[in-house]
Amino acid sequence: MKQINSQKIQNKLRNKFKSSGVKMIGPETIFFSKDTKIGKNVTIDPYVVIASKVKIGDNVKINSFSHLENCKIENNVKIGPYARIRPGTILQAGSRVGNFVEIKKSNVGKKSKINHLSYIGDSSLGNSVNIGAGTITCNYDGFNKNKTKIKNNVFIGSNSSLVAPVTVSENSIVGAGSVITKNVKKNSLALTRSSQIEVKNYKRKKK
């Protein structure tokens, strides 16, 4: 991390990217690596860290407090704020990763969205996938890392857990609050939610 901490090197890198057309807001708060590659028409907000082995395409927006490392960001991608893109991740063209989202060793397909409060690890997402808020891929069973596969045009409802290894096939929907442990066939609706119970005229016990 010496290359990130050296102020002299950082100033040189900032000037390099600024002269190539990268728009930086609060450049003194943005940190690059020597091997960072950035395309055209890219905007980077304050307090962004770009660690080693990051390649960023054209028309990308990286919002504040995001951290990227050893990943590939294709064209027309939006990231953050407060996003963590970990090693081995590919964000394909037009995808969106929002606030408080962590992605590790995963391929996110074209125009797919992971907008809020989610963890995606050891996964492959097809095109036009929507991941609801609070969704997690349960990729570690205590011994091994397992893979989650989410095919094209899948909608994952909020607060869902996908227990790997598992595949959700094309055009399927996972209902909010579900824990998915078995493969979901294409064009299906998968639900594992308990029935709601209501006790009428319930009175709380007094202390």
pLDDT of residue 4: 55
**Residue 195 domain flag:** no
Q: pLDDT tens digits for 68-85?
A: 999 999 999 999 999 999
Whether the ω angle into residue 165 lies within 30 degrees of 0, i.e. cis, is: yes
**Residue 145 domain flag:** yes
**Residue 91 domain flag:** yes
Pairing relationship of beta strands 43-44 and 23-24 according to DSSP bridges: parallel
Q: pLDDT tens digits for 58-67?
A: 999 999 999 9
This prediction has a pTM of 0.93
pLDDT of residue 50: 98
Catalytic residue among 116, 128, 146, 152: 116
Q: pLDDT tens digits for 96-151?
A: 999 999 999 999 999 999 999 999 999 999 999 999 999 999 999 999 999 999 99
**Residue 200 domain flag:** no
**Residue 206 domain flag:** no
**Residue 204 domain flag:** no
Whether residue 95 contacts residue 80, with contact meaning beta carbons closer than 8 Å, is answered with no
Alpha-carbon distance of 31 to 9, in angstroms, equals: 10
**Residue 171 domain flag:** yes
**Residue 202 domain flag:** no
- Which CATH number belongs to the domain containing residue 170 in this structure? 2.160.10.10
Domain count, the chain: 1
- The parent domain of residue 59 ranges over 2-190
* Whether 67 is catalytic: no
